[in-house]
């Protein structure tokens, strides 16, 4: 768990693919944003309930955001939405590929304020057409960036050997993330361990040269 000034970040790994599910909980309002209802709805509901320890307010899920449309990131989305009836959000260009209806299509540069949790949308084209990252700026520490499957420790997301898709994702990651945010930014990927932009910045030319 990351215990920030205004909110907490909790996460679990689910499924045989070790998908990461993140929940942000506002300490002041109890509002929660769930990022990627990937699988195992009971485990997700436990994650949401555990965050009650982080605030004196009554926790309540307020928004579910899907970082991209791939099947392994949405397997529990329908069940979680059905049981909570909260709005869903995803990148505009992935909405058609997500079976569960998307209530809020997201665009690059959008800023969503969910009862004290302010998230900036960064569109990263390449892994899927509508892949997004979510940026939370902590006024008392480094920024926190939830990158889905677009940026990992050691490289970019899979573009299936498509040179055009790789070029698009690389350019977006460089200009919209590395040129935009400082080295101490914490990166929360869609699978596995996190990293920082500083730990990855020196590898950018290597990634471009190898093409993946």
Residues 11-34: tens digit of each pLDDT: 999 999 999 999 999 999 999 999
36-49: pLDDT as tens digits: 999 999 999 999 99
Most distant pair of Cα atoms in the chain: their distance:
50
Q: Is the dihedral of CA 189, 53, 8, 37 positive or negative?
A: positive
Handedness of CA 97, 101, 157, 180 (dihedral sign): positive
Asked if the model's pLDDT at residue 179 lies above 90, the reply is yes
Q: How confident is the model at residue 175 (pLDDT cuts 50, 70, 90)?
A: very high
pLDDT digits (tens, 9 = 90+) for 139-164: 999 999 999 999 999 999 999 999 99
Q: pLDDT tens digits, residue range 52-111?
A: 999 999 999 999 999 999 999 999 999 999 999 999 999 999 999 999 999 999 999 999
- Residue 87: exposure state from Cβ atoms within 10 A (0-12, 13-18, ≥19): middle
pLDDT tens-digit map of 116-133: 899 999 999 999 999 999
Confidence of residue 211 (pLDDT cuts 50, 70, 90): very high
DSSP label at residue 102:
P
Percent helix / strand / coil, the chain, rounded to 5: 30, 35, 40
Global pTM? 0.97
pLDDT tier at 212, thresholds 50, 70, 90 = confident
Strands (DSSP E) along the chain, which ranges?
2-3, 7-14, 19-26, 31-35, 60-66, 88-91, 104-106, 111-114, 117-123, 132-136, 144-148, 151-152, 155-156, 186-189, 195-196
Q: Token match 């689910």: residue?
A: 14
Task: Reduce the DSSP state of residue 45 to 3 states and report it.
Answer: helix
Chain-wide mean pLDDT for the chain?
97
Token pair belonging to 105 = 């299509």
Distance CA 179, CA 212 (A): 20
């Amino acid at each position: 768990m990351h215990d920030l000034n205004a909110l907490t970040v909790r996460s679990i790994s689910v499924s045989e693919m070790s998908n990461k599910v993140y929940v942000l909980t506002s300490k002041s309002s109890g509002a929660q944003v769930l990022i990627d209802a990937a699988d195992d709805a009971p485990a997700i509901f436990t994650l949401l309930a555990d965050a009650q320890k982080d605030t004196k307010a009554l926790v309540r899920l307020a928004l579910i955001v899907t970082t991209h449309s791939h099947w392994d990131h949405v397997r529990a989305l329908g069940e979680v939405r059905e049981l909570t009836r909260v709005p869903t959000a995803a990148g505009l260009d992935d909405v058609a590929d997500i079976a569960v209806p998307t209530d809020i299509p997201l665009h690059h540069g959008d800023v969503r304020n969910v009862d004290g949790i302010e998230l900036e949308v960064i569109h990263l084209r390449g892994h899927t057409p509508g892949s997004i990252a979510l940026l939370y700026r902590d006024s008392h520490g480094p920024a926190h960036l939830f990158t889905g499957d677009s940026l990992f420790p050691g490289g970019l997301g899979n573009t299936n050997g498509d040179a055009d898709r790789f070029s698009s994702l690389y350019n977006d990651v460089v200009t919209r993330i590395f040129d935009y945010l400082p080295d101490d930014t914490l990166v929360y990927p869609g699978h596995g361990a996190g990293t920082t932009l500083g730990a990855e910045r020196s590898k950018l030319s290597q990634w471009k040269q190898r093409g993946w």
